[in-house]
Amino acid sequence: MCLLGFLLLTKTAVAATPLQTHDLNPLTLVYGLPLISPAKLPGPDQSFFSASYNRSNTLNVEDTPSENLFIDGETSELNLIYLFSISNNTHVRLRIPFISHRAGSLDNFIDDFHDTFGFPAGKRADYPADQFLFSYSLDGRERLRMDTANHGLGDISIDAAYQLYAGSSQAASIWTSIKLPSGDNDLLTGSGKIDASLWLSAESDFRQDWSSYYNIGLLIPGKSQILPELQKSTVYFGTAGIEWRAMDHLTFNIQLDFHSAFYNSHTTFLGDSIQISSGGHIKLNPSQRIEIVVVEDIYVGASPDVTFQLGYSQLF
């Protein structure tokens, strides 16, 4: 509450555009973890459309006294989003994802990327490139296995947002979401159950051309058909970011995204996650922009090694 109070008391001009990222861990993606949401909603006579393509590459091998996990492959997600108003202060957002899992065709590129920028490579050097296997065993029994590439419709989300406050320098909104079981749990494109979440989004300018923003919320997943014996009943999530409006047509963002564990597991990959996202937006004109993002796992081994995102959005 103190942080919210600080944000709402700071006085300059608000125009933050958070990076539309979330965790592409294939065993997390099946749940209704929301995309980052803007605090300032469009006007009552405006609507917003975006399409973003995210592609992640992961190699994670873990063994504990009771668990064995092997994740090697790539997960891609295409998100189609439409946000529209139903009253002056209330908006609805529809998100339709398409998800695919396949062999890691970017393995060699990722190795070079990590070497160039000094990011940790984990265990990548110990395994051959371009494999595909998702496997998890508990107490000597394999509970999950996928070794054939697949793709399909993911779980559709319907979000509702209410504008709590929107001034010249700060804004806050409250969001809620229902995720529907439109995907296929056998293909890891959905959990097979309904999820519900609630979160707060706030933003503020703290100096000319600089904004801060954050989301913080709670997710209550339905009883999934994926590792149901390990699933937790509540998950916390959030984001904190800074945006610099370098030019009229160019902004840069850096943000931290986190969530608590979805599973009761001693493995890192099924535990808490912290990612750092860096990128920004290029304005094509006042109503259209392109988003380019690179996401890295700060907490190594808890989420994909790297995710690349390219997005397009338009305000109507």
**How far is residue 61's CA from residue 259's CA, in Å, rounded to a whole number?**
21
Q: What is the pLDDT of residue 131?
A: 82
pLDDT in single tens digits along all 316 residues of the chain: 443 343 333 333 445 789 988 899 999 999 999 988 999 998 888 899 999 999 998 888 999 999 999 999 999 999 999 999 999 899 999 999 999 999 876 656 666 665 666 655 555 556 556 689 999 999 999 999 999 999 999 999 999 999 999 888 899 999 999 999 999 999 999 999 999 999 999 999 988 889 999 999 999 999 998 999 999 999 999 999 999 999 989 999 999 999 999 999 999 999 999 999 999 999 999 889 999 999 998 888 889 988 999 999 998 8
Which one, of 128, 124, 102, lies nearest residue 113 by Cα? 124
Which residue is it, tokens 């996202």? 277
Q: How far is CA 4 from CA 75, 84, 173, 260, in A?
A: 35, 26, 11, 21
pLDDT confidence of residue 300: 85
DSSP state of 109: H
> What is the pLDDT at residue 113?
60
DSSP-assigned letters across all residues of 43-89: PTT-EEEEEEEEEEEEEEEEE-SSEEEEEEEEEEEEEEEEEEESSSS
Of 120, 107, 138, 154, whose CA–CA distance to 263 is shortest? 138
pLDDT at 126: 61
Predicted confidence at residue 175, as pLDDT, reads 97
The predicted pLDDT at position 208 comes to 87
How far apart CA 258 and CA 23 sit, in angstroms, is 8
CATH 3.30.56.10 fits 2-315, yes or no: no
Contact 193, 217 (CB under 8 A): no
The residue extents of the domains of the chain are: 2-315
- State how far the Cα of 276 lies from the Cα of 261, in Å rounded to an integer: 17
The predicted pLDDT at position 109 comes to: 65
